[in-house]
């Protein structure tokens, strides 16, 4: 079966009824994927910068970061690369940055750390902006946003980074990249009417969104069977996000693991998602599956799934749909 997926890897990701789906890569965890994966995706929908920080013995300097980001941006050029600012805390720790908490997933994580350490955040933003000079395929994404103040403070620091750089390098044309937020804290889902006017795009982090909606630690084996993004409540939230983003004309995508499951991808496409970011190992499989399906059939399936009582029933319906249609 894997060979079959590979045979179609160079073909476009288009459904039977002609909808083009952008398939993007989640990168950063495997440090060297970019060399051989650029040609099979439409760009990078999530570049996890913290993975590289985790390999280091101390915070990398701005220059070191710039070199690294430039290598990543060039590998995928001219396709876009969505670089996420440092998302440490929770399960992701740096040996050289001590965080001791009783409840790390509800603690000092993601953007909270960046805003408490503006010197680190500014360094990272400046390194990204400089790496983008002459390329222009950078987009910046902010993790774990839960309130308007975080959006505004982040944008203010971004402006500071931009103006300081423009002043320091007057001969260079520093571009202003699109800035987006992750939707992964439940509160963020309800703020789209306001935030859609402040940011350029959003991307759903279904891993954390599932964890926080269901109050199930994504890393705790004891409750692993409760961690399920096919829970109808999660699906309804994902569906609402798509409708809200369409209504407010905010470009949206999804970059959690759900988009890399063929079953998840089908349901998301039915909801209106047209940009899905996933691990390299999922890309060809998802492409193969969606090329054999009509969006109108997926929509029919979705309406049935949204009315199911639990994840098990949703998956049963979705799997039999896939068997029936290919």
Rank residues 46 and 214 by Cβ distance to ligand PEP and give the closer one: 46
Number of H helices, E strands in the chain: 15, 8
Rank residues 126 and 180 by Cβ distance to Mg ion and give the closer one: 180
Rank residues 28 and 205 by Cβ distance to Mg ion and give the closer one: 205
- 24 lies in the binding site for ligand PEP (CB under 6 A): no
DSSP letters, 212-249, are: HHHT--TT-GGGGGG--TTSHHHHHHHHHHHHHHHHTT
User: With the CA atoms of 13, 15, 18 and 24 taken in that order, what torsion angle do they form, in degrees rounded to the nearest 10?
Assistant: -30
- 282 lies in the binding site for ligand PEP (CB under 6 A): no
Site for Mg ion in 197-256 (CB under 5 A): 205, 208
Rank residues 41 and 165 by Cβ distance to ligand PEP and give the closer one: 41
- 48 lies in the binding site for ligand PEP (CB under 6 A): yes
Given 229, 256, 260, 262, the residue binding ligand PEP (CB under 6 A) = 256
- 205 lies in the binding site for ligand PEP (CB under 6 A): yes
- 126 lies in the binding site for ligand PEP (CB under 6 A): no
Number of residues lying near ligand PEP (CB under 6 A):
10
State the minimum distance, in angstroms, from the CB of residue 115 to ligand PEP: 18
- 228 lies in the binding site for ligand PEP (CB under 6 A): no
Cβ contacts of residue 274 below 8 Å, gap of 6+? 19, 20, 21, 22, 253
Is the Cβ–Cβ distance between 69 and 84 less than 8 Å?
Answer: no
206 binds, among Mg ion, ligand PEP, none (CB under 5 to 8 A by kind): ligand PEP
* Residue located via tokens 């499951």: 261
Rounded distance between C-alpha atoms, residue 249 and residue 14, angstroms: 23
Segment near ligand PEP (CB under 6 A), from 97-105, 160-168, 205-213, 241-249? 205-213
Task: Read off φ and ψ for residue 197, nearest 5 degrees.
Answer: -90, -10
User: With the CA atoms of 246, 158, 138 and 44 taken in that order, what torsion angle do they form, in degrees rounded to the nearest 10?
Assistant: -60
Rounded distance between C-alpha atoms, residue 97 and residue 89, angstroms: 10
Instruction: Give me the 187-206 binding string for Mg ion, x by CB under 5 A, dash otherwise.
Output: ------------------x-
Given 150, 184, 217, 261, the residue binding ligand PEP (CB under 6 A) = 184
- 263 lies in the binding site for ligand PEP (CB under 6 A): no
Beta-carbon-side half-sphere exposure of residue 28 (alpha carbons within 13 Å): 23
- 255 lies in the binding site for ligand PEP (CB under 6 A): yes
Question: What is residue 61's DSSP assignment?
Answer: P
Question: What is residue 8's DSSP assignment?
Answer: T
State the minimum distance, in angstroms, from the CB of residue 196 to ligand PEP: 20
| Site residues (vs Mg ion, CB under 5 A) | 184, 205, 208
């Amino acid at each position: 079966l894997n060979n079959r997926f590979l045979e179609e890897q160079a073909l476009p990701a288009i459904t039977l009824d002609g909808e083009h789906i952008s398939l993007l890569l989640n990168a950063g965890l495997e440090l060297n994927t970019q060399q051989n994966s650029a040609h099979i995706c439409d760009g990078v929908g999530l570049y996890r910068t913290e993975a590289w920080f985790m390999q280091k013995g101390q915070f990398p300097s701005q220059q070191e970061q710039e070199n690294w980001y430039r290598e990543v941006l060039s590998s995928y050029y001219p396709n876009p690369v969505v670089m996420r600012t440092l998302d440490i805390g929770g399960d992701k720790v740096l040996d050289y940055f001590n965080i001791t908490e009783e409840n790390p997933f509800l603690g000092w994580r993601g953007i909270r750390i960046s805003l408490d350490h503006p010197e680190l955040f500014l360094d990272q933003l400046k390194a990204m902006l400089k790496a983008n000079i002459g390329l222009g395929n950078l987009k910046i994404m902010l993790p774990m946003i839960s309130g308007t103040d975080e959006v505004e403070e982040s944008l203010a620091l971004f402006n500071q980074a931009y103006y300081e750089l423009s002043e320091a390098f007057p001969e260079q044309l520093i571009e202003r990249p699109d800035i987006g937020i992750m939707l992964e804290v439940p509160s963020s889902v309800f703020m789209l009417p306001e935030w859609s006017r402040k940011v350029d795009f959003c991307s759903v982090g279904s891993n954390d969104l599932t964890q926080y909606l269901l109050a199930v630690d994504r890393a705790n084996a004891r409750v692993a069977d409760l961690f399920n993004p096919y829970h109808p409540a999660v699906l309804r939230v994902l569906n609402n996000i798509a409708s809200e983003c369409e209504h407010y004309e905010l470009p949206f995508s999804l970059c959690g693991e759900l988009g890399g499951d063929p079953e998840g991808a089908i349901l998301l496409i039915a909801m209106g998602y047209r940009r899905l970011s996933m691990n390299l190992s999922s890309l060809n499989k998802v492409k193969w599956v969606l090329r054999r399906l009509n969006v109108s059939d997926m929509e029919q399936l979705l309406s049935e799934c949204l009315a199911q009582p639990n994840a098990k029933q949703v998956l049963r319906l979705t799997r039999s749909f896939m068997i029936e249609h290919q």
